[in-house]
Structure 1
Amino acid sequence: MEVITIEKKTFEEMTAKFDEFVHWVERICHQNDEKGIGEWLDNQEVCQLLNICPRTLQTLRDNGTLAYSQIHHKIYYKAGDVQCIVSVVGNKRKEAGFRNKTI
């Protein structure tokens, strides 16, 4: 094991800078909370809310209709974004139903 020594003044400066960084991150997090970023939903929740299958959800992501964020292999959606496309999905469902009817 290697031991490294530093002056007390240098150590105190480093800890002060680290404390500044921590306060900066906390301030940013607090500002974002105030903006009402809202709840994030996963694939299963969005499929249930929109009454669609996972493949349809994939299509909505692929064609840019629904914005998403990915952390590792998990995909999340803002509740507000999902709410905005409820009418889009409903209209597509009506169009598909109309086209499938035979007269």
Structure 2
Amino acid sequence: MEIISIEKKAFEEMVSKLNGFIAGIETLYLKGSDKKMSDWMDSQDVCMLLDISPRTLQTLRDSGRLAYSQINHKIYYLPEDVERILPVMEKKKESMKTQKQNAYG
């Protein structure tokens, strides 16, 4: 094993720079943790909330009507994006219900 000796001043300077680096990393970590994944909804949550099938959800994504983010192979949605499309989906369901009643009634 090789032993390396350095001056105390050089060692203290190195420790100070390392502490500064660590503080910078901690700051970046805290900024990133403000964007919690708990604020996001997964596909199952969205399907249940909108009362739609996974295929309909995929159609909403493919058509660009619902924004999403994909991390690895999992898809997430911002609640505000889902809330924005909620009235549209309710109106569509009501329209379908009316069409069925008119067809059979």
Normalised TM-score (structure 1): 0.70
**Matched residue count:** 97
Q: What is the percentage of aligned positions where both structures have the same residue? A: 37
Matched, 1:64 2:35: no
Normalised TM-score (structure 2): 0.68
Q: Deviations over 1:52-94 (max 9, x none)?
A: 0001000111111111111100011112221121101112223
Q: CA RMSD in A?
A: 3.2
Question: Any unmatched runs of 5+ in structure 1?
Answer: none
Contact 1:38 1:79 in 2 (8 A): no
Change (3 A) 1:97 1:82: same
Identify the structure with the greater helix proportion: 2
Question: Any unmatched runs of 5+ in structure 2?
Answer: none
**How far is the alpha carbon of 1:17 from its aligned partner?**
3.6
Q: Report the counterpart of residue 42 of structure 2 in structure 1.
A: 42
Higher radius of gyration, 1 or 2 = 2
In the TM superposition, structure 1's runs of 4+ consecutive aligned residues that sit over 6 Å from their partners are none
Once residues 24 and 16 of structure 1 are traced to their aligned partners in structure 2, the CA distance between those partners, rounded to angstroms, is 12
